[in-house]
Structure 1
Amino acid sequence: MKKNLLTVLVLSSGLLLSACDNGGDGGGGSSSTSNADVNNIANPVVGTPTAYSLTDFSAAAAESVVMTYKMKGISGNEVQATALVFTPRTAAPTSGWPIVVWAHGTTGVADQCAPSRNVMNDYVKGMISKFLAEGYVVVAPDYEGLGEPTGTELHPFLNLKSEGYSITDAVVATHNWLGNKVSKKWVTVGHSQGGQAALGAAQYAARANLDYKGTVAVAPASQLSLILNAGQASVANSTPDKQIPVYASLDTFTALIAAGLRNQNPTLAYNQVFKTPTDQIAKNAESVCYDVLGNQFAVKMGQYAAVNGSLKDYPRTTDTFMSLPVVKSFLEKDSQPLQIQVKTPIVIYQGGADTTVPQVATDALLGTAKALGTQVNYITSPTWDHGSAYALNIDNIVFDVNEMMAK
């Protein structure tokens, strides 16, 4: 199942690629701490949830809906967001159904890229169906800025706090909507960007003021500078056919990062991050989804290589973009999970053959977490790549969730 980076990028529409400040709390149980920013948004569900039918869940779910809810956005102000909510076909127990949150991978930053507006891939559908069969409500947030009703906010791509609040506030809204049909117990599961978001949920779980039981993260994004630099170096002396998939993937993520940063930094220009004329492709991050954007980068590189015989001097990213203050802060802080101690259970799956989130990045993440006293059950295999680390472990992930919920 090993694939090059561009193939993984195209495959993972529900699979892929963090951000922290010290205002969060790793506990997340029913009691909050003094530094916890507890959600007290009144009437968090906006209108009545509408039916979701792009993917057929009728065999597994009694109801599949898109819920619009209020959350605290990256600006600190209240914004609206959307989430898929699936309820089991079985009757709710006396204590209510526990909640499993699915944190999706990279799709893009534009509204059309929201998972609730698209067909779900078979692996994710299969996992959600298994959770429903186990008697869990499944909540799948689009994340802040994706599919939001105003159409004016870009998704703050890989911003850990934004993702964490997207999750916590979706859980609060689901409780408001379903009432005593759901219990206070909840767990987060995610892959790549979603793995990072799930770790963000663990860090900010106290905001929900419920009974947070733990996180399962698969190939979670972290150490973004390391990933970008290692990706460059891995194919530096290769032929264009090897370089193009890697470079297109890296440039896609960089463009999405730039687009997400423009949410709060509208003066950040794409020509500060990309050389001309590639900056014109990067601008498309605001309007197309990641797979289309990746292909646009790849096509231009292919045309250049066909004429020049190599990618030497091809105008990709600027030499100084990582040192731009807003980018530097994002890479070192705002996208980096587990910078404070988290006390709730964490399971991380990571493949040694992963070229999108290489194991060296997750090893570094684990080292930082351990130094802060965070305990992680770290499960690896040298043969798993970015996709198979998730796809081959779905049953194990369901088992992990059952174990967490039982405690």
Structure 2
Amino acid sequence: MKTSVRQRISGGVPGTALRVSAILATAAVMVSCSAAPVDESDRSTASFTTSRAPVASTPSESADASLFPKLGGTEPGSLTAVEPFDSVIDTVTDTGATAYRIRYMSTAAIGGGPVEVTGSVFVPGGAAPEGGWKVVAFNHGFTGIAPNCGPSLYDDLKEQWLPIAALLLNNYLVVASDYEGLGGAGGSAIAHALLDAAPLGRNVIDGVRAAADLVPSVGRQWAAFGGSLGGLATWAANEQASTYGDGLDLVGAASWVPMVDASELPRKAAAGTLTQDQLHLYLLAIMSMKATLHPDLVLSDYVRGEMYEKRDLLVLCTGPRIPEAVDFLETASAADLVPVNDAAAERMSGWLREIAVPRQRAAAPMIVIYGSADRLVDQSWIESALQRGCELGSSISWFLRPGEGHGDIDAAQAFPWIGARFDGQRAENGCAR
């Protein structure tokens, strides 16, 4: 099946980007899965000091639960607020988990100062295992750019609940960032720097730190896990794990259909070759760029016609006008996004390239899963990113799934892959082949 515009704007199909049957089957057998170790992965061992105190390597079994949650502070990862998330979809709580909505501090996309970010934490039922909970940062897919697009605002987590439930069934503590500018923290104006990899990665890392302030017995080992925009966040967190993420132990990162580098969008717009799925992504990328990183951007250099007239409608995440937005996007004209001239197209391409991945060697092994029929993220974009990642010295294994697209990718193999990383098994490095 192809991901339709209707699926993309009304729910989290591309954000989840996993086949339901494959996930449920994987969840049932993952704990017992094991594989023989393969070639040693090339991990970064650099250690840097941050302003944030490291998480204890082995949490005390006698940690005083009355001291949690630990609230307050402006350092990255400081937990600032928490409330029960009792209304979350039953599929999550039926695993025995307890759900929380949280606010925590991270480092802003603009200026690098402190910024508050929202998210969710899901704690498995029962006692923590020896060594503390193993943490998985689940990084959600493309939901929009408005402040009310954060999954934690919705009981169904913007339809991102399925992989979270599967992770909980395998006894992982799950933290899910909304990302800066989503989730309502900071006001009502657009403040989400869509496709800006570095702050996404910081938000992910600081969410893991915040989870350690929420409940006792959280270990320092964690994995990053996400698709679509969440695949970009996962990749970016991996690249920053040995510097910004000092004090934590990232064991691996699983990305599927990641939005790695969208710098070809302006050229496709100029050529009139944007897919129908890419029209909405590119419009929101332009509007986000103007609202955050490049306020001097002249919107009419990139957007015109009905797309320009309906731009405020097309940023909505919820409400009675969503059907109107969906209907428009299904027949929107690519001519409305043709840049005013080649110079404008090259300028936008440069801006998008500056915020893309890869930028540096990733700290931990990585798996990347993508499809040949993806209408949102071109296959060639991901393959170019894989090549650059290998050239930078990252350890990556990758899998191309023929005929599969952005919303129907079968990425279930990511589950046992991260389990093997937690078990200390060596990851295959496709870059070494």
TM > 0.5 between the two?
yes
Question: What secondary structure does 1:373 align onto?
Answer: coil
* Structure 1 position 373 matched with structure 2 position 386: no
Q: Is the 8 A contact 1:227 1:357 kept in 2?
A: no
Q: Is the 8 A contact 2:234 2:255 kept in 1?
A: yes
Aligned pair partner of 2:311 in 270, 282, 289 = 282
Query: Deviation at 1:37?
Result: 5.5
Cα deviation code 1:375-399 (max 9, x no counterpart): 210111212211221xx333x2210
Aligned pair partner of 1:95 in 131, 134, 138 = 131
Query: Deviation at 1:265?
Result: 3.1
Q: Is the 8 A contact 1:62 1:89 kept in 2?
A: yes
Residues 186 and 146 of structure 1: is their aligned pair in 2 closer, same or farther, counting only changes over 3 Å? Answer: same
Alpha-carbon distance in structure 1 between the residues aligned to 2:378 and 2:350: 22
Cα deviation code 1:245-294 (max 9, x no counterpart): x33x3231122112322124333342232124532222445554699779
Q: How does 1:153-168 map to 2 (within 5 A)?
A: 154-168=191-205
Alpha-carbon distance in structure 2 between the residues aligned to 1:375 and 1:294: 43
Q: Which amino acid aligns with 2:221?
A: K
Residue of structure 2 equivalent to 1:267 = 296
Aligned pair partner of 2:251 in 200, 209, 213 = 213
Query: Deviation at 1:92?
Result: 0.3
Query: Deviation at 1:319?
Result: 3.3
Residues 315 and 135 of structure 1: is their aligned pair in 2 closer, same or farther, counting only changes over 3 Å? Answer: closer
Query: Deviation at 1:88?
Result: 0.5
Structure with more of its chain in helix, by fraction:
1
Residue of structure 2 equivalent to 1:22 = none
Runs of 5+ consecutive residues of structure 2 not aligned to the other structure: 17-41, 54-73, 425-433
Residue of structure 1 equivalent to 2:152 = 116
Q: Which amino acid aligns with 1:378?
A: W
Q: How does 1:51-70 map to 2 (within 5 A)?
A: 51-56=85-90, 57-70=92-105
* Structure 1 position 385 matched with structure 2 position 405: yes
Query: Deviation at 1:220?
Result: 0.6
Q: Is the 8 A contact 1:52 1:84 kept in 2?
A: no
Q: Which amino acid aligns with 1:318?
A: P
Residue of structure 2 equivalent to 1:346 = 366
Bigger Cα displacement from structure 2, 321-330 vs 157-166: 321-330
Cα deviation code 1:103-153 (max 9, x no counterpart): 111111112111011243797423212211211100110000101433145
Aligned pair partner of 1:333 in 351, 354, 360 = 354
Q: Is the 8 A contact 2:106 2:202 kept in 1?
A: yes
Residues 379 and 403 of structure 1: is their aligned pair in 2 closer, same or farther, counting only changes over 3 Å? Answer: same
Query: Deviation at 1:204?
Result: 1.2
Q: Is the 8 A contact 2:270 2:345 kept in 1?
A: no
Residue of structure 1 equivalent to 2:230 = 194
Cα deviation code 1:179-199 (max 9, x no counterpart): 3x1100000111011101100
Cα deviation code 1:280-320 (max 9, x no counterpart): 22244555469977963852784x9xxxxxx69x5333333
Question: What secondary structure does 1:315 align onto?
Answer: helix
Q: How does 1:5-84 map to 2 (within 5 A)?
A: 5-7=4-6, 9-10=8-9, 13=12, 15-16=14-15, 32-33=47-48, 39=52, 41-42=74-75, 44-56=78-90, 57-75=92-110, 76-84=112-120
Residue of structure 1 equivalent to 2:325 = 296
Alpha-carbon distance in structure 2 between the residues aligned to 1:301 and 1:130: 32
Cα deviation code 1:348-368 (max 9, x no counterpart): 001112121122211111111
Aligned pair partner of 1:106 in 131, 136, 142 = 142
Please provide the CA RMSD for this pair: 3.2
Residue of structure 1 equivalent to 2:178 = 142
Q: Is the 8 A contact 2:122 2:174 kept in 1?
A: yes
Alpha-carbon distance in structure 1 between the residues aligned to 2:104 and 2:44: 21
* Structure 1 position 405 matched with structure 2 position 422: yes
TM-score, normalised relative to structure 2:
0.76
Alpha-carbon distance in structure 2 between the residues aligned to 1:341 and 1:192: 21
Query: Deviation at 1:160?
Result: 0.3
Q: Which amino acid aligns with 1:364?
A: S
Bigger Cα displacement from structure 2, 71-80 vs 253-262: 253-262
Q: Is the 8 A contact 1:217 1:348 kept in 2?
A: yes
Aligned pair partner of 2:278 in 250, 273, 284 = 250
Query: Deviation at 1:102?
Result: 0.7
Alpha-carbon distance in structure 2 between the residues aligned to 1:292 and 1:382: 36
* Structure 1 position 317 matched with structure 2 position 316: no
Question: What secondary structure does 2:336 align onto?
Answer: coil
Alpha-carbon distance in structure 1 between the residues aligned to 2:379 and 2:245: 31
Alpha-carbon distance in structure 1 between the residues aligned to 2:317 and 2:343: 24
Query: Deviation at 1:27?
Result: 6.2
Q: Which amino acid aligns with 1:193?
A: L
Cα deviation code 1:55-76 (max 9, x no counterpart): 2222114310111101111121
TM-score, normalised relative to structure 1:
0.81
Residue of structure 1 equivalent to 2:427 = none
Residues 368 and 289 of structure 1: is their aligned pair in 2 closer, same or farther, counting only changes over 3 Å? Answer: farther
Runs of 5+ consecutive residues of structure 1 not aligned to the other structure: 18-25, 237-242, 305-310
* Structure 1 position 178 matched with structure 2 position 196: no
Residue of structure 2 equivalent to 1:240 = none
Bigger Cα displacement from structure 2, 250-259 vs 268-277: 268-277
Residue of structure 2 equivalent to 1:307 = none
